[in-house]
Structure 1
Amino acid sequence: MQNPQIVDSINEMLTMQNTLNEATNGVDWRSGVTVLGKPINWRRCIVMETAELIDSYPWKHWKAVDAKTDMENVRVELVDIWHFLQSLVLEHFELERAATILAQVLSSKGNPAQNTASLSVIEQVEVHEKMLATALEAGEVSEGYLERLTKAFVDSCSMADLSFTQLYQIYMAKNVLNQFRQDHGYKEGTYIKEWHGKEDNVVMFEIIAEMTDFSGDELYIRLKESYKNLPV
Protein backbone atom coordinates (compact mmCIF):
# COMPACT_ATOMS: atom_id res chain seq x y z
CA MET A 1 0.00 0.00 0.00
CA GLN A 2 1.35 3.40 -0.97
CA ASN A 3 2.09 6.02 1.68
CA PRO A 4 -0.02 9.12 0.80
CA GLN A 5 2.63 11.47 2.18
CA ILE A 6 5.30 9.86 0.01
CA VAL A 7 3.00 10.03 -3.03
CA ASP A 8 2.40 13.76 -2.43
CA SER A 9 6.12 14.43 -2.01
CA ILE A 10 6.98 12.46 -5.16
CA ASN A 11 4.36 14.36 -7.15
CA GLU A 12 5.84 17.63 -5.91
CA MET A 13 9.38 16.59 -6.83
CA LEU A 14 8.38 15.22 -10.24
CA THR A 15 6.59 18.47 -11.07
CA MET A 16 9.66 20.43 -10.03
CA GLN A 17 11.93 18.11 -12.03
CA ASN A 18 9.83 18.57 -15.16
CA THR A 19 10.01 22.35 -14.74
CA LEU A 20 13.79 22.14 -14.31
CA ASN A 21 14.16 19.93 -17.39
CA GLU A 22 12.04 22.29 -19.50
CA ALA A 23 14.14 25.24 -18.36
CA THR A 24 17.48 23.55 -19.07
CA ASN A 25 16.68 21.25 -22.01
CA GLY A 26 13.57 22.74 -23.66
CA VAL A 27 9.87 21.93 -23.46
CA ASP A 28 10.32 18.90 -25.76
CA TRP A 29 13.02 17.29 -23.60
CA ARG A 30 11.05 14.01 -23.51
CA SER A 31 11.95 13.52 -27.18
CA GLY A 32 15.45 12.60 -25.97
CA VAL A 33 17.06 15.69 -27.50
CA THR A 34 17.72 19.10 -25.96
CA VAL A 35 16.59 22.37 -27.52
CA LEU A 36 20.16 22.66 -28.88
CA GLY A 37 19.95 19.25 -30.54
CA LYS A 38 22.13 17.36 -28.05
CA PRO A 39 21.03 13.78 -27.24
CA ILE A 40 19.84 13.09 -23.67
CA ASN A 41 20.70 9.78 -21.99
CA TRP A 42 19.42 9.66 -18.41
CA ARG A 43 20.72 6.15 -17.82
CA ARG A 44 24.24 7.27 -18.71
CA CYS A 45 23.82 10.17 -16.28
CA ILE A 46 22.94 7.68 -13.53
CA VAL A 47 25.94 5.52 -14.41
CA MET A 48 28.37 8.44 -14.25
CA GLU A 49 26.94 9.83 -11.01
CA THR A 50 27.08 6.36 -9.43
CA ALA A 51 30.74 6.10 -10.45
CA GLU A 52 31.37 9.42 -8.70
CA LEU A 53 29.49 8.11 -5.67
CA ILE A 54 31.71 5.01 -5.56
CA ASP A 55 34.79 7.23 -5.66
CA SER A 56 33.65 8.66 -2.30
CA TYR A 57 34.72 5.31 -0.83
CA PRO A 58 38.40 4.35 -0.27
CA TRP A 59 38.04 1.36 -2.57
CA LYS A 60 41.41 1.73 -4.32
CA HIS A 61 43.96 -0.88 -3.26
CA TRP A 62 46.94 1.13 -4.49
CA LYS A 63 46.52 4.43 -2.63
CA ALA A 64 44.88 6.11 0.37
CA VAL A 65 44.05 2.67 1.78
CA ASP A 66 43.32 4.11 5.25
CA ALA A 67 41.10 6.96 3.99
CA LYS A 68 37.58 7.39 5.35
CA THR A 69 34.41 7.25 3.27
CA ASP A 70 33.02 10.68 2.44
CA MET A 71 29.47 9.69 3.36
CA GLU A 72 28.16 13.23 3.06
CA ASN A 73 29.22 13.29 -0.59
CA VAL A 74 27.69 9.83 -1.10
CA ARG A 75 24.34 11.32 -0.06
CA VAL A 76 24.81 14.35 -2.30
CA GLU A 77 25.51 12.06 -5.27
CA LEU A 78 22.39 10.03 -4.45
CA VAL A 79 20.29 13.19 -4.64
CA ASP A 80 21.88 13.97 -8.03
CA ILE A 81 21.00 10.44 -9.16
CA TRP A 82 17.43 11.03 -7.95
CA HIS A 83 17.20 13.99 -10.37
CA PHE A 84 18.13 11.70 -13.26
CA LEU A 85 16.00 8.76 -12.12
CA GLN A 86 12.92 10.98 -11.95
CA SER A 87 13.76 12.34 -15.40
CA LEU A 88 14.05 8.83 -16.83
CA VAL A 89 10.62 7.87 -15.46
CA LEU A 90 9.07 11.12 -16.69
CA GLU A 91 10.57 10.64 -20.13
CA HIS A 92 8.55 7.44 -20.58
CA PHE A 93 5.44 7.95 -18.46
CA GLU A 94 3.04 10.77 -17.67
CA LEU A 95 3.35 12.39 -14.25
CA GLU A 96 0.57 10.45 -12.53
CA ARG A 97 1.88 7.07 -13.66
CA ALA A 98 5.47 8.11 -13.00
CA ALA A 99 4.55 8.97 -9.42
CA THR A 100 2.81 5.63 -8.98
CA ILE A 101 5.84 3.67 -10.24
CA LEU A 102 8.22 5.45 -7.88
CA ALA A 103 5.82 5.44 -4.92
CA GLN A 104 5.24 1.67 -5.20
CA VAL A 105 8.91 1.06 -4.47
CA LEU A 106 9.55 3.93 -2.06
CA SER A 107 6.43 3.16 0.03
CA SER A 108 7.40 -0.46 0.57
CA LYS A 109 9.25 -1.20 3.79
CA GLY A 110 11.84 -3.28 2.01
CA ASN A 111 15.07 -4.10 3.80
CA PRO A 112 15.89 -2.16 6.96
CA ALA A 113 18.83 0.22 6.77
CA GLN A 114 21.99 -1.84 6.80
CA ASN A 115 24.63 -1.36 9.45
CA THR A 116 27.49 -0.11 7.32
CA ALA A 117 29.92 -0.68 10.17
CA SER A 118 29.42 -4.43 9.75
CA LEU A 119 30.26 -4.34 6.04
CA SER A 120 33.61 -3.87 4.40
CA VAL A 121 34.19 -0.95 2.04
CA ILE A 122 34.04 -3.32 -0.93
CA GLU A 123 30.76 -4.86 0.27
CA GLN A 124 29.27 -1.39 0.53
CA VAL A 125 30.55 -0.45 -2.94
CA GLU A 126 29.02 -3.62 -4.38
CA VAL A 127 25.55 -2.46 -3.27
CA HIS A 128 25.99 0.72 -5.33
CA GLU A 129 27.43 -1.25 -8.25
CA LYS A 130 24.09 -3.06 -8.54
CA MET A 131 22.44 0.27 -9.31
CA LEU A 132 25.17 1.06 -11.83
CA ALA A 133 24.76 -2.35 -13.49
CA THR A 134 20.98 -1.92 -13.72
CA ALA A 135 21.39 1.54 -15.27
CA LEU A 136 23.77 0.03 -17.85
CA GLU A 137 21.17 -2.47 -19.07
CA ALA A 138 20.07 -1.98 -22.64
CA GLY A 139 16.54 -2.50 -23.86
CA GLU A 140 13.09 -1.15 -23.18
CA VAL A 141 12.50 1.24 -20.29
CA SER A 142 9.46 -0.62 -18.96
CA GLU A 143 7.65 -0.24 -15.66
CA GLY A 144 9.33 -3.42 -14.44
CA TYR A 145 12.75 -2.11 -15.35
CA LEU A 146 12.11 1.22 -13.62
CA GLU A 147 10.90 -0.58 -10.50
CA ARG A 148 14.14 -2.62 -10.41
CA LEU A 149 16.26 0.48 -10.93
CA THR A 150 14.35 2.35 -8.23
CA LYS A 151 14.76 -0.62 -5.85
CA ALA A 152 18.51 -0.54 -6.48
CA PHE A 153 18.46 3.18 -5.76
CA VAL A 154 16.57 2.60 -2.50
CA ASP A 155 19.15 -0.01 -1.48
CA SER A 156 21.92 2.52 -2.12
CA CYS A 157 20.09 5.09 -0.02
CA SER A 158 19.74 2.51 2.75
CA MET A 159 23.47 1.85 2.58
CA ALA A 160 24.13 5.58 2.98
CA ASP A 161 21.53 5.87 5.78
CA LEU A 162 19.59 8.36 3.64
CA SER A 163 15.89 8.32 4.51
CA PHE A 164 13.13 9.39 2.14
CA THR A 165 12.54 12.47 4.30
CA GLN A 166 16.21 13.43 3.98
CA LEU A 167 16.14 12.72 0.24
CA TYR A 168 13.13 15.02 -0.13
CA GLN A 169 14.67 17.79 1.96
CA ILE A 170 18.02 17.73 0.17
CA TYR A 171 16.36 17.55 -3.26
CA MET A 172 14.16 20.54 -2.46
CA ALA A 173 17.11 22.37 -0.89
CA LYS A 174 19.28 21.85 -3.97
CA ASN A 175 16.53 23.32 -6.11
CA VAL A 176 16.38 26.34 -3.77
CA LEU A 177 20.16 26.68 -4.01
CA ASN A 178 20.06 26.40 -7.81
CA GLN A 179 17.43 29.15 -7.93
CA PHE A 180 19.50 31.27 -5.53
CA ARG A 181 22.54 30.84 -7.76
CA GLN A 182 20.57 31.91 -10.85
CA ASP A 183 19.22 34.95 -8.98
CA HIS A 184 22.73 36.01 -8.00
CA GLY A 185 24.64 35.92 -11.27
CA TYR A 186 25.42 32.23 -11.88
CA LYS A 187 24.84 32.42 -15.65
CA GLU A 188 26.70 35.72 -15.88
CA GLY A 189 29.72 34.28 -14.07
CA THR A 190 29.53 36.77 -11.17
CA TYR A 191 28.25 34.34 -8.55
CA ILE A 192 30.60 33.55 -5.64
CA LYS A 193 30.50 29.80 -4.91
CA GLU A 194 32.93 29.74 -1.96
CA TRP A 195 31.65 31.41 1.20
CA HIS A 196 34.26 32.06 3.89
CA GLY A 197 36.24 28.99 2.84
CA LYS A 198 33.18 26.73 2.37
CA GLU A 199 31.32 25.79 -0.80
CA ASP A 200 27.72 27.00 -0.90
CA ASN A 201 26.57 23.35 -0.79
CA VAL A 202 28.22 22.95 2.61
CA VAL A 203 26.63 26.15 3.91
CA MET A 204 23.26 24.89 2.67
CA PHE A 205 23.63 21.63 4.66
CA GLU A 206 24.63 23.55 7.78
CA ILE A 207 21.50 25.71 7.53
CA ILE A 208 19.25 22.66 7.03
CA ALA A 209 20.80 20.98 10.09
CA GLU A 210 19.76 23.98 12.20
CA MET A 211 16.12 23.89 11.04
CA THR A 212 13.44 22.30 13.18
CA ASP A 213 11.19 21.89 10.13
CA PHE A 214 12.46 22.24 6.57
CA SER A 215 11.29 25.35 4.73
CA GLY A 216 12.42 26.33 1.25
CA ASP A 217 11.51 29.95 1.87
CA GLU A 218 13.49 30.06 5.10
CA LEU A 219 16.46 28.38 3.42
CA TYR A 220 16.48 31.01 0.67
CA ILE A 221 16.35 33.83 3.24
CA ARG A 222 19.18 32.30 5.27
CA LEU A 223 21.29 31.81 2.14
CA LYS A 224 20.70 35.46 1.21
CA GLU A 225 21.76 36.61 4.68
CA SER A 226 24.99 34.60 4.50
CA TYR A 227 25.74 35.70 0.94
CA LYS A 228 25.38 39.42 1.59
CA ASN A 229 28.05 39.21 4.28
CA LEU A 230 30.70 37.94 1.85
CA PRO A 231 33.61 40.25 1.12
CA VAL A 232 33.27 41.93 -2.28
Structure 2
Amino acid sequence: MLTANQASTMLALQDKMNAKVNPDWVNVRSPFLRAVVIEGAEAIEHHGWKWWKKQDCDLAQLQMELVDIWHFVLSAILIKHEGSQVAASDDIFNHLTAQKLTFDGQDYVFSQLSLLDKLELLIGLAAAKRYDIGLFSALLQDCQMDWDALYAQYVSKNVLNFFRQDNGYKEGTYIKVWSGREDNEHLVEIMEKLDIKAQDYQDQLYQELSKRYSLLDVT
Protein backbone atom coordinates (compact mmCIF):
# COMPACT_ATOMS: atom_id res chain seq x y z
CA MET A 1 0.00 0.00 0.00
CA LEU A 2 1.13 3.54 -0.70
CA THR A 3 2.76 5.23 2.30
CA ALA A 4 2.46 8.85 3.34
CA ASN A 5 6.20 9.31 2.85
CA GLN A 6 6.06 7.93 -0.69
CA ALA A 7 3.13 10.18 -1.58
CA SER A 8 4.78 13.29 -0.17
CA THR A 9 8.07 12.47 -1.91
CA MET A 10 6.41 12.01 -5.29
CA LEU A 11 4.35 15.16 -4.94
CA ALA A 12 7.47 17.14 -4.05
CA LEU A 13 9.41 15.67 -6.98
CA GLN A 14 6.53 16.43 -9.35
CA ASP A 15 6.34 20.01 -8.19
CA LYS A 16 10.11 20.37 -8.63
CA MET A 17 10.00 18.88 -12.13
CA ASN A 18 7.12 21.07 -13.26
CA ALA A 19 8.77 24.15 -11.77
CA LYS A 20 11.91 23.39 -13.78
CA VAL A 21 9.83 23.67 -16.94
CA ASN A 22 7.83 26.69 -15.72
CA PRO A 23 8.25 28.22 -12.25
CA ASP A 24 4.64 29.46 -12.42
CA TRP A 25 3.26 26.10 -13.53
CA VAL A 26 0.47 25.90 -10.93
CA ASN A 27 -1.06 29.21 -12.02
CA VAL A 28 -0.59 28.44 -15.72
CA ARG A 29 -2.79 25.36 -15.25
CA SER A 30 -1.58 23.40 -18.26
CA PRO A 31 -3.93 20.59 -19.43
CA PHE A 32 -2.15 17.69 -17.75
CA LEU A 33 -5.19 15.43 -18.05
CA ARG A 34 -5.01 15.83 -21.83
CA ALA A 35 -1.61 14.16 -21.56
CA VAL A 36 -3.28 11.29 -19.66
CA VAL A 37 -5.50 10.71 -22.71
CA ILE A 38 -2.46 10.35 -24.95
CA GLU A 39 -0.46 8.21 -22.52
CA GLY A 40 -3.51 6.00 -21.94
CA ALA A 41 -3.76 5.37 -25.68
CA GLU A 42 -0.05 4.51 -25.78
CA ALA A 43 -0.60 2.07 -22.91
CA ILE A 44 -3.32 0.36 -24.97
CA GLU A 45 -0.86 0.07 -27.86
CA HIS A 46 1.76 -1.57 -25.62
CA HIS A 47 -0.87 -3.98 -24.33
CA GLY A 48 -2.17 -4.82 -27.78
CA TRP A 49 -5.79 -4.39 -28.83
CA LYS A 50 -6.09 -5.42 -32.49
CA TRP A 51 -8.30 -8.48 -32.69
CA TRP A 52 -7.41 -9.07 -36.33
CA LYS A 53 -3.69 -9.75 -35.77
CA LYS A 54 -1.39 -11.40 -33.23
CA GLN A 55 0.08 -8.96 -30.71
CA ASP A 56 2.26 -9.50 -27.65
CA CYS A 57 1.90 -7.42 -24.50
CA ASP A 58 5.05 -5.44 -23.65
CA LEU A 59 4.51 -5.41 -19.89
CA ALA A 60 7.60 -3.36 -19.03
CA GLN A 61 6.59 -0.55 -21.37
CA LEU A 62 2.96 -0.79 -20.29
CA GLN A 63 4.09 -0.29 -16.71
CA MET A 64 6.21 2.67 -17.76
CA GLU A 65 3.18 4.25 -19.41
CA LEU A 66 1.36 3.99 -16.08
CA VAL A 67 4.27 5.78 -14.45
CA ASP A 68 3.99 8.55 -17.07
CA ILE A 69 0.26 8.76 -16.40
CA TRP A 70 0.92 9.08 -12.68
CA HIS A 71 3.18 12.09 -13.32
CA PHE A 72 0.31 13.87 -15.05
CA VAL A 73 -2.29 12.80 -12.49
CA LEU A 74 -0.10 14.13 -9.67
CA SER A 75 0.20 17.41 -11.55
CA ALA A 76 -3.57 17.63 -12.00
CA ILE A 77 -4.12 16.94 -8.29
CA LEU A 78 -1.62 19.64 -7.30
CA ILE A 79 -3.32 22.17 -9.59
CA LYS A 80 -6.71 21.25 -8.14
CA HIS A 81 -5.38 22.08 -4.69
CA GLU A 82 -3.54 25.25 -5.76
CA GLY A 83 -0.14 23.64 -5.28
CA SER A 84 -0.75 22.43 -1.72
CA GLN A 85 1.09 19.13 -1.34
CA VAL A 86 -0.67 18.40 1.95
CA ALA A 87 -4.14 18.80 0.42
CA ALA A 88 -3.06 16.81 -2.64
CA SER A 89 -1.85 13.95 -0.43
CA ASP A 90 -5.14 13.95 1.48
CA ASP A 91 -7.00 13.76 -1.83
CA ILE A 92 -4.99 10.71 -2.87
CA PHE A 93 -5.53 8.81 0.37
CA ASN A 94 -9.21 9.71 0.57
CA HIS A 95 -9.82 7.86 -2.70
CA LEU A 96 -7.01 5.31 -2.77
CA THR A 97 -9.14 2.23 -2.01
CA ALA A 98 -12.26 3.10 -4.00
CA GLN A 99 -13.60 0.07 -5.87
CA LYS A 100 -16.05 1.73 -8.25
CA LEU A 101 -17.10 5.00 -9.82
CA THR A 102 -20.00 6.56 -11.68
CA PHE A 103 -19.25 8.19 -15.02
CA ASP A 104 -21.72 9.61 -17.53
CA GLY A 105 -24.58 8.10 -15.55
CA GLN A 106 -23.14 4.58 -15.58
CA ASP A 107 -21.68 2.64 -12.66
CA TYR A 108 -18.32 0.93 -13.15
CA VAL A 109 -17.04 -1.72 -10.73
CA PHE A 110 -13.31 -2.09 -11.25
CA SER A 111 -13.18 -5.82 -10.49
CA GLN A 112 -15.61 -6.43 -13.35
CA LEU A 113 -13.51 -4.59 -15.94
CA SER A 114 -10.65 -5.90 -18.04
CA LEU A 115 -7.35 -4.05 -18.20
CA LEU A 116 -8.28 -2.56 -21.57
CA ASP A 117 -11.68 -1.53 -20.23
CA LYS A 118 -9.98 0.25 -17.33
CA LEU A 119 -7.61 2.06 -19.67
CA GLU A 120 -10.53 3.20 -21.82
CA LEU A 121 -12.33 4.43 -18.70
CA LEU A 122 -9.19 6.26 -17.58
CA ILE A 123 -9.02 7.98 -20.97
CA GLY A 124 -12.70 8.89 -20.89
CA LEU A 125 -12.38 10.42 -17.44
CA ALA A 126 -9.28 12.38 -18.43
CA ALA A 127 -11.01 13.70 -21.55
CA ALA A 128 -13.77 14.94 -19.24
CA LYS A 129 -11.12 16.62 -17.01
CA ARG A 130 -11.41 14.02 -14.26
CA TYR A 131 -9.22 11.44 -12.58
CA ASP A 132 -9.89 8.60 -10.17
CA ILE A 133 -7.22 7.29 -7.80
CA GLY A 134 -9.10 4.05 -7.11
CA LEU A 135 -9.20 3.29 -10.84
CA PHE A 136 -5.48 3.97 -11.14
CA SER A 137 -4.80 1.68 -8.19
CA ALA A 138 -6.81 -1.07 -9.91
CA LEU A 139 -4.78 -0.55 -13.08
CA LEU A 140 -1.57 -1.05 -11.11
CA GLN A 141 -2.78 -4.45 -9.96
CA ASP A 142 -3.72 -5.48 -13.49
CA CYS A 143 -0.22 -4.51 -14.66
CA GLN A 144 1.43 -6.62 -11.94
CA MET A 145 2.57 -3.60 -9.97
CA ASP A 146 2.12 -2.45 -6.40
CA TRP A 147 2.67 1.03 -5.01
CA ASP A 148 6.26 0.21 -4.04
CA ALA A 149 7.00 -0.73 -7.64
CA LEU A 150 5.28 2.40 -8.91
CA TYR A 151 7.29 4.52 -6.48
CA ALA A 152 10.57 2.98 -7.67
CA GLN A 153 9.69 3.51 -11.33
CA TYR A 154 8.33 7.00 -10.68
CA VAL A 155 11.57 8.14 -9.06
CA SER A 156 13.50 6.63 -11.98
CA LYS A 157 11.33 8.33 -14.61
CA ASN A 158 11.62 11.59 -12.69
CA VAL A 159 15.40 11.34 -13.12
CA LEU A 160 14.92 10.75 -16.86
CA ASN A 161 12.64 13.77 -17.08
CA PHE A 162 15.28 15.96 -15.43
CA PHE A 163 17.89 14.48 -17.78
CA ARG A 164 15.71 15.35 -20.76
CA GLN A 165 15.26 18.93 -19.61
CA ASP A 166 18.98 19.30 -18.92
CA ASN A 167 19.68 18.15 -22.47
CA GLY A 168 17.33 20.42 -24.38
CA TYR A 169 13.91 18.73 -24.22
CA LYS A 170 12.02 22.01 -23.92
CA GLU A 171 14.14 23.65 -26.62
CA GLY A 172 13.61 20.75 -29.02
CA THR A 173 17.27 19.69 -29.24
CA TYR A 174 17.02 16.53 -27.14
CA ILE A 175 17.23 13.28 -29.12
CA LYS A 176 14.76 10.74 -27.71
CA VAL A 177 15.71 7.71 -29.83
CA TRP A 178 19.12 6.23 -29.09
CA SER A 179 20.41 3.57 -31.49
CA GLY A 180 16.91 2.72 -32.61
CA ARG A 181 15.33 2.57 -29.15
CA GLU A 182 13.51 5.22 -27.13
CA ASP A 183 15.16 6.52 -23.99
CA ASN A 184 12.34 4.90 -21.96
CA GLU A 185 13.62 1.50 -23.07
CA HIS A 186 17.16 2.36 -22.08
CA LEU A 187 15.84 3.54 -18.72
CA VAL A 188 14.19 0.18 -18.02
CA GLU A 189 17.41 -1.62 -18.92
CA ILE A 190 19.54 0.57 -16.65
CA MET A 191 17.08 0.27 -13.76
CA GLU A 192 17.48 -3.51 -13.81
CA LYS A 193 21.22 -3.14 -13.15
CA LEU A 194 21.01 -0.68 -10.25
CA ASP A 195 19.89 -0.95 -6.63
CA ILE A 196 16.82 1.25 -6.10
CA LYS A 197 17.56 1.24 -2.37
CA ALA A 198 21.04 2.71 -2.81
CA GLN A 199 21.37 6.13 -1.20
CA ASP A 200 22.81 7.60 -4.39
CA TYR A 201 20.45 5.71 -6.73
CA GLN A 202 19.21 8.85 -8.46
CA ASP A 203 22.77 10.07 -9.08
CA GLN A 204 23.83 6.65 -10.39
CA LEU A 205 20.86 6.53 -12.75
CA TYR A 206 21.51 10.04 -14.07
CA GLN A 207 25.17 9.21 -14.69
CA GLU A 208 24.30 6.01 -16.55
CA LEU A 209 21.84 7.88 -18.75
CA SER A 210 24.54 10.47 -19.47
CA LYS A 211 27.01 7.76 -20.48
CA ARG A 212 24.58 6.15 -22.90
CA TYR A 213 23.48 9.46 -24.36
CA SER A 214 27.05 10.56 -25.03
CA LEU A 215 28.51 7.23 -26.18
CA LEU A 216 25.73 5.53 -28.13
CA ASP A 217 24.72 6.40 -31.63
CA VAL A 218 21.71 8.69 -31.06
CA THR A 219 20.96 9.24 -34.71
Sort the TM-score into its range (normalised by shorter chain): 0.7 to 0.9
Does structure 2 conserve the Cα–Cα contact (< 8 Å) formed by 1:42 and 1:88? yes
Taking a change above 3 Å as real, the CA distance of residues 45 and 187 of structure 1, as seen in their structure-2 partners, is closer
In the TM superposition, residue 225 of structure 1 has moved relative to its aligned partner by: 2.9
Distance 1:71 1:217 in 2: 26
Partner of 1:127: 118
Partner of 2:159: 176
Percent same amino acid at aligned positions? 33
Residue correspondence of structure 1 range 99-118 to structure 2 within 5 A: 99-106=89-96, 108=97
Tell me, yes or no, if structure 1 residue 216 matches structure 2 residue 202.
Answer: yes
Q: Deviations over 1:112-140 (max 9, x none)?
A: xxxxxxxxxx93311222322333446xx
Distance 1:225 1:89 in 2: 35
- Tell me which moved more, 52-61 or 73-82: 52-61
Distance 1:70 1:194 in 2: 18
Does structure 2 conserve the Cα–Cα contact (< 8 Å) formed by 1:14 and 1:95? yes
Tell me, yes or no, if structure 1 residue 9 matches structure 2 residue 6.
Answer: yes
Bigger Rg over Cα: 1
Does structure 2 conserve the Cα–Cα contact (< 8 Å) formed by 1:207 and 1:219? yes
In the TM superposition, residue 14 of structure 1 has moved relative to its aligned partner by: 0.9
Q: Deviations over 1:44-70 (max 9, x none)?
A: 332232122222233223x4x211122
RMSD: 2.9
Residue correspondence of structure 1 range 72-151 to structure 2 within 5 A: 72-93=60-81, 94-106=84-96, 108=97, 123-137=114-128, 149-151=132-134
TM-score by length of 1: 0.73
- Which segments of 5 or more consecutive residues in structure 1 lack a partner in the other structure? 35-39, 111-121
Distance 1:197 1:30 in 2: 36
Taking a change above 3 Å as real, the CA distance of residues 52 and 217 of structure 1, as seen in their structure-2 partners, is same
Taking a change above 3 Å as real, the CA distance of residues 180 and 23 of structure 1, as seen in their structure-2 partners, is closer
Aligned residue for 1:55, secondary structure, equals: helix
Distance 1:174 1:101 in 2: 23
Taking a change above 3 Å as real, the CA distance of residues 183 and 43 of structure 1, as seen in their structure-2 partners, is closer
In the TM superposition, residue 198 of structure 1 has moved relative to its aligned partner by: 3.1
- Which segments of 5 or more consecutive residues in structure 2 lack a partner in the other structure? 100-112
Partner of 2:106: none
- Tell me which moved more, 9-18 or 183-192: 183-192
The amino acid across from 2:186 in the alignment is: V
Tell me, yes or no, if structure 1 residue 47 matches structure 2 residue 37.
Answer: yes
Tell me, yes or no, if structure 1 residue 203 matches structure 2 residue 186.
Answer: yes
Taking a change above 3 Å as real, the CA distance of residues 226 and 22 of structure 1, as seen in their structure-2 partners, is closer
In the TM superposition, residue 221 of structure 1 has moved relative to its aligned partner by: 1.9
Partner of 2:109: none
In the TM superposition, residue 192 of structure 1 has moved relative to its aligned partner by: 4.2
In the TM superposition, residue 109 of structure 1 has moved relative to its aligned partner by: 10
Q: 1:30 aligns with which of 12, 26, 30?
A: 26
Tell me, yes or no, if structure 1 residue 19 matches structure 2 residue 16.
Answer: yes
TM-score by length of 2: 0.76
In the TM superposition, residue 186 of structure 1 has moved relative to its aligned partner by: 4.1
Does structure 1 conserve the Cα–Cα contact (< 8 Å) formed by 2:98 and 2:133? no
Distance 1:7 1:85 in 2: 17
